[in-house]
């Protein structure tokens, strides 16, 4: 038994370069442990992995950006490590922003002492308006000693402390809003009034937390990151990032912006993904309709295809909104040369064909599993005097027509039995093995009806979760959820399918590519379960 999904990395043949790449590269992938990895995260993870491990022999840090106790969980951390493994990405180190809380606190004290940050108790709404109108905060010139004392009260969670946040003293009237005295330390519920929650790693040790804007550059620098890859919506914050390092005399880090990726008829927001999981619209985070790493791999996307696709997007900085068909067609090119060919006939109204001029009892022959790739091995073809064909093929056949039975030869249709409702129940045909298979229009797949080893399978096909190409910020998710996103049909499958392990990718002749989700014996009533793999074309 084997799963034929290759995890071998594609050779680096991309030509992406970072400044000062020759002096050594340390990159980091910084997910917030607040959900499962999705296809957008995969882009960031592959790019960081590429620069650390393919373009150079540097190192990759997986850093959990855990500065928001309200959303983060250990379950998500474990799933992220696992899913990076699925993608073939092995970080040299796993770190946590929370490991640096004490250090970040000290660095904030240092910033305050040098007059580069201050404590403020302006109402959050007014603060936002002032920032918009480029007005200085009334607390901007507060003496450092006073701000330091308030910062200590914030740390202790006193009533006075709780009214405050800390802002960097950069500028209040820059045309770049990110430079207008950004908040660097706050209570997570500052301005929201929500009940505070313990941090999943540090518990109640800290009540105040550094903001992402403050923590990210500092931890990057402290951890030895040489190149920080960030999605372009952070570009406006690049100057701010550099300001923090400079203000604290920390080693500088190269910033490299890349475009966030989005897909048609797909939502990637963790909140929305959680919503479809929790309302039972899908069966879980690994449902094959989910754009999570687990979901898309389960649907039959190979890691090689995903990696190749993402690295080809690499240097572009324009927002990329992709059609799934491109990704699936990259995948098809990878699976087609290796997917063994098998046969399935739909159970519903399968038409029984009686053959004359053939074997009386069933005979077996070995045939290659792949027409062009002998390395894939051999399968058994069973010939018999009664075979099944798909109803949809049976209805297209005419009396006295010459057809080709795939892998066998030609046959002449002698009689067709049609039931009252128009279903073809039986056909009789006479083998005509001298007939020229290149002259027939209809090449039909079939299965020996007497083959006691025939398997049973559920064949599933899935559709997008969304009815709309692109969900706008104001769109309610419920309104645009596709009511029907899966279809299942029962099929009989050839005896060799019993050998297929979960994860195997095959082609069912004339039906398309499928991934085995449950091997023989593992699905409902012991049936196999197979998921149809999109190919990007009409199929």
Taking the CB of residue 159, how many other CB atoms lie within 10 A of it? 7
Taking the CB of residue 317, how many other CB atoms lie within 10 A of it? 12
Q: Edge to edge, what strands does the sheet with 351-356 contain?
A: 443-444, 402-405, 409-418, 424-432, 351-356, 386-389, 447-448
Of 10, 16, 32, 314, which lies in the binding site for ligand ATP, with binding defined by CB under 6 A? 32
Rounded distance, CA 60 to CA 52, Å? 6
SS (H, E, C) 183-202: EEEECCCCCCCCCCCCECCC
User: Is 269 among the residues that bind ligand ATP (CB under 6 A)?
Assistant: yes
Nearer to ligand ATP, 44 or 497 (CB): 44
Rounded distance, CA 427 to CA 386, Å? 10
The residue range among 40-48, 199-207, 389-397, 510-518 that interacts with ligand ATP, by the rule CB under 6 A, is 40-48
Q: Tokens standing for 266?
A: 């797909």
Please, are residues 53 and 86 in contact by the beta-carbon 8 Å criterion?
A: no
Of 6, 10, 122, 231, which lies in the binding site for ligand ATP, with binding defined by CB under 6 A? 231
Binding to ligand ATP (CB under 6 A): which residues in 242-261?
260-261
Rounded distance, CA 351 to CA 454, Å? 16
Of 41, 227, 281, 445, which lies in the binding site for ligand ATP, with binding defined by CB under 6 A? 41
Of 25, 30, 66, 465, which lies in the binding site for ligand ATP, with binding defined by CB under 6 A? 30
Nearer to ligand ATP, 318 or 452 (CB): 318
Q: What residue 342 binds from ligand ATP, Mg ion, none (CB within 5 to 8 A, per partner kind)? A: none
φ, ψ for residue 248, nearest 5 deg: -105, 5
Rounded distance, CA 409 to CA 388, Å? 15
Residues 6+ apart with CB under 8 A from 435: 402, 404, 409, 410, 411, 412
Q: What residue 396 binds from Mg ion, ligand ATP, none (CB within 5 to 8 A, per partner kind)? A: none
User: Is 92 among the residues that bind ligand ATP (CB under 6 A)?
Assistant: no
Nearer to ligand ATP, 32 or 461 (CB): 32
Name the minimum Å distance from CB 146 to ligand ATP.
35
Please, are residues 517 and 486 in contact by the beta-carbon 8 Å criterion?
A: no
Name the minimum Å distance from CB 111 to ligand ATP.
24
Taking the CB of residue 504, how many other CB atoms lie within 10 A of it? 22
Name the minimum Å distance from CB 270 to ligand ATP.
4
Cα 414 to Cα 399, 417, 427: the distances in Å are 6, 10, 8
User: Is 99 among the residues that bind Mg ion (CB under 5 A)?
Assistant: no
DSSP 250: P
Interface characters, 485-514, with ligand ATP (x: CB under 6 A): ------------------------------
User: Is 31 among the residues that bind ligand ATP (CB under 6 A)?
Assistant: yes
Name the minimum Å distance from CB 23 to ligand ATP.
23
Interface characters, 113-142, with ligand ATP (x: CB under 6 A): ------------------------------
Residue nearest to Mg ion as judged by C-beta position: 32
User: Is 268 among the residues that bind ligand ATP (CB under 6 A)?
Assistant: yes
Nearer to ligand ATP, 171 or 231 (CB): 231
Q: Tokens standing for 189?
A: 């519920």
Q: Which H or E element spans position 297?
A: helix 293-299
Taking the CB of residue 395, how many other CB atoms lie within 10 A of it? 14
Residue nearest to ligand ATP as judged by C-beta position: 40
Interface characters, 17-46, with Mg ion (x: CB under 5 A): ---------------x--------------
Which runs of consecutive H residues, i.e. helices, occur in 189-289? Answer: 212-222, 238-247, 270-278
Catalytic residue positions, numbered: 32, 260, 270
Interface characters, 184-223, with ligand ATP (x: CB under 6 A): ----------------------------------------
In angstroms, the first-to-last Cα distance of the chain is 28
Q: Which residue has the tokens 């997910």?
A: 31
Name the minimum Å distance from CB 266 to ligand ATP.
10
Strands 183-186, 209-210: pairing is antiparallel
Nearer to ligand ATP, 31 or 188 (CB): 31
Name the minimum Å distance from CB 314 to ligand ATP.
11
Residues within the interface to Mg ion (CB under 5 A): 32
């Amino acid at each position: 038994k084997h799963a034929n999904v290759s995890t071998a990395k594609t050779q680096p043949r991309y030509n992406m370069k970072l400044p000062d790449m020759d002096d050594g590269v340390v990159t980091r992938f910084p997910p917030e442990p607040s959900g499962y990895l999705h296809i957008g995260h995969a882009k960031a993870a592959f790019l960081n992995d590429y620069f650390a491990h393919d373009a150079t022999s540097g190192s990759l840090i997986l850093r959990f950006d855990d500065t928001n106790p309200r959303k983060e969980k250990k379950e998500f951390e474990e799933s992220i490590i696992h899913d990076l493994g699925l993608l073939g990405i092995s970080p040299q180190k796993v770190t946590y922003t929370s490991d640096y809380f004490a250090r970040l606190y000290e660095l904030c004290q240092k910033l305050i002492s040098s007059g580069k940050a201050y404590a403020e108790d302006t109402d959050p709404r007014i603060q936002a308006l002032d920032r918009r109108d480029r007005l200085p905060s009334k607390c901007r010139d507060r003496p450092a000693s006073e701000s330091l004392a308030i910062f200590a009260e914030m740390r202790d969670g006193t009533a006075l402390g709780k009214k405050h946040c800390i802002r960097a003293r950069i500028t209040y009237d820059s045309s770049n809003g990110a430079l207008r005295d950004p908040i660097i330390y706050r209570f997570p519920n500052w301005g929201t009034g929500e009940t505070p929650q313990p941090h999943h790693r540090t518990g109640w040790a800290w009540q105040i937390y550094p903001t992402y804007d403050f923590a990210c550059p500092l931890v990057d620098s402290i951890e030895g990151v040489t190149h920080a890859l960030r999605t372009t919506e952070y570009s406006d914050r690049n100057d701010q990032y550099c300001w923090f390092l400079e203000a604290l005399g920390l080693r500088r880090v190269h910033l490299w912006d890349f475009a966030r990726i989005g897909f048609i008829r797909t939502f990637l927001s963790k909140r929305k993904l959680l919503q479809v999981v929790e309302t039972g619209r899908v069966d879980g985070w690994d449902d094959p309709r989910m754009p999570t790493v687990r979901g898309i791999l389960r649907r039959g996307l190979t890691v090689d295809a995903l990696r190749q696709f993402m690295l080809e997007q690499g240097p572009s900085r324009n927002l990329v909104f992709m059609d799934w068909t491109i990704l699936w067609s990259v995948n098809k090119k990878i699976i087609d040369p290796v997917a063994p060919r098998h046969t399935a006939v739909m159970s519903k109204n399968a038409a029984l064909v009686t053959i004359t001029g053939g074997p009386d009892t069933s005979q077996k022959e070995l045939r290659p599993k792949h027409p062009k790739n002998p390395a894939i091995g051999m399968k058994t073809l069973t010939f018999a005097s009664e075979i099944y064909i798909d109803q949809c093929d049976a209805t297209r056949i005419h009396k006295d027509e010459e057809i080709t039975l795939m892998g066998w030869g030609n046959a002449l249709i002698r009689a067709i039995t049609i039931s009252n409702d128009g279903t073809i129940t039986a056909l009789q045909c006479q083998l005509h093995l001298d007939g020229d298979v290149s002259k027939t229009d209809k090449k039909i797949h079939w299965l020996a009806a007497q083959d006691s080893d025939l398997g049973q399978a559920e064949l599933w096909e899935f559709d997008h979760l969304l009815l709309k190409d692109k969900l706008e910020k104001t769109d309610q998710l419920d309104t645009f959820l596709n009511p029907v996103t899966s279809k299942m049909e029962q099929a009989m499958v050839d005896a060799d399918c019993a050998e297929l392990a979960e994860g195997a990718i095959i082609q069912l002749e004339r039906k398309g590519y499928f991934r085995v989700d449950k091997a023989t014996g593992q699905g409902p009533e012991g049936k196999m379960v197979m998921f149809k793999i999109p190919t990007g074309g009409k199929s």
